A and B are shown apart, each in its own frame.
Chain A
């Protein structure tokens, strides 16, 4: 075990995984609170356009996808306010539009694209130091934002009218939240890939909801669940030589059923007199 952790690529993978698990798990709470589990999935798929544009232009695909993700997050928030259309319909619009643009752009690039495959399904074991620095800087900014604003964000997501009366500028915070979710999602693509990244936003909070008795506990349990998913998944993927992203998601699914079964078992036990 220690031999594996001594390898530089594994060290980078563990640092990136632990950091992304923390950010995505905490943001996942706000996504679930907003009932927009589809948001991260939509942004992830739409960011294919950014990845494709980066590959075509010879730029860092992660940076281009991050920029595009932020723009798309702000666009969804703006369209939601301007059109009063349902959020999931707008996300679906951006989701399919971005994905289609990505496919068209990739048609201009001939031959096998290993980089593209790593973005589709994730390849955390290939994370480079420069990417890790981007993750650390943006991840720190996201955590500071959440730490400073989480009470205002939660009130806004529970009831916008109450938040308005409390003097919270809804449009500003909603846009900021969407942009933050978009940026975190694109960062997570390196770990789980476009196809699976939303799992790390949805699974931990879903598990935590089964156990938590307060919002504070929900945050702690979500983060613990996300970290366990990533660490167990990484170790299993290296041990059995399987794709890391998919194994992390399967670990999460297994953990969910273990928690669910344990809860059912405890509930079925007659209370002691």
Chain B
């Protein structure tokens, strides 16, 4: 069964076609990575999945329109722009998103190491700490589908590895379907079951070792780019 079914999805804003007739499925329980160059429509894809943007085509999440299953979706946005001078603690922020917190939510905070940040102000967190808080916020909704928009941005290499292990744990142990936008091809190779390559059109989809060919990388990032250009190890 599919967690997400997308058929002929197009997003056109003004005269600009951001996504052009994109079709793919995301199997339930999979960890799927979305890759593509800047401006290729990755974030727009997420916004369309969530019903935040008008689109043409069909988007079904657990066989229903997104608006009917929002309570089963956790989302970590790419940009989290807010007035950093406002004194809001991590504990308060998490309570705004989920006022009644359970024992399970405390476990989520422990697992994401957010419990040690509880009394810190969100405006004073580092990029990595803020990402952890946003992920905890998403997980506290006990989601069946987790959408992560460049979640490792702003995290150092060591933190990045820990982060991907956490996502892998959430996916494998808790059975949460994860769709993640990422630029880290090496991590995608290691952790993702499936990959979706976007560059306005769907360039490739499938298991990373089959889908990520030299030709696809060239289509996505230009002639000079190959897989070695993105590896860290």
Contacts and interface: CB of A to CB of B under 8 A. Distances in A.
B86 interface: yes
Contact of A165 (B73, B87, B92): B73
Nearest to B92: A215
A218 B137 contact: no
Q: Which of B71, B80, B96, B137 has the most CB of A within 10 A?
A: B96
B50 interface: yes
B50 to A, nearest CB: 6
B83 interface: yes
A166 B70 CA distance: 7
Contact of A161 (B74, B77, B88, B93): B77
B70 A218 contact: no
Contact of B50 (A35, A154, A161, A209): A161
A39 to B, nearest CB: 15
Interface residues of A, number: 23
Interface string B89-114: 10011011111000000000000000
Contact of A162 (B75, B85, B95): B75
Contacts of A155: 96-97
B96 A151 contact: yes
A158 interface: yes
Contacts, number: 67
Contacts of B71: 167
Contacts of B74: 165
Contacts of A164: 50-52, 70
A113 interface: no
A216 B92 CA distance: 8
A151 B93 CA distance: 9
Interface residues of B, number: 29
A85 to B, nearest CB: 14
A37 to B, nearest CB: 11
A129 B196 CA distance: 67
B87 A217 contact: yes
B18 interface: no
Interface string A33-44: 101000000000
B211 interface: no
B75 A161 contact: yes
A159 B92 contact: no
B96 A158 contact: yes
B75 A165 contact: yes
A159 B47 CA distance: 14
A239 interface: no
Interface string A195-231: 0000000000000010011111110000000000000
Contacts of A213: 87, 89, 121
A132 interface: no
A215 B89 contact: yes
Nearest to B51: A164
A214 B89 contact: yes
A143 interface: no
B43 to A, nearest CB: 10
Contacts of B97: 155, 162, 166
A158 B121 CA distance: 14
Contacts of A209: 85-87
Contact of A214 (B70, B80, B87, B137): B87
Contacts of B83: 32-33, 35
A155 B97 CA distance: 6
B87 A33 contact: no
Contact of A159 (B51, B70, B77): B77
A70 to B, nearest CB: 27
A217 B70 CA distance: 32
Contacts of A33: 83, 86
Q: Which of A35, A154, A215 has the most CB of B within 10 A?
A: A215
7 contacts: A161-B47, A165-B50, A212-B87, A213-B87, A214-B87, A214-B121, A215-B87
Interface of A: 32-33, 35, 151-152, 154-155, 158-159, 161-162, 164-167, 209, 212-218
Closest 6 CB pairs of A and B: A212-B87, A155-B96, A165-B75, A215-B88, A151-B96, A215-B92
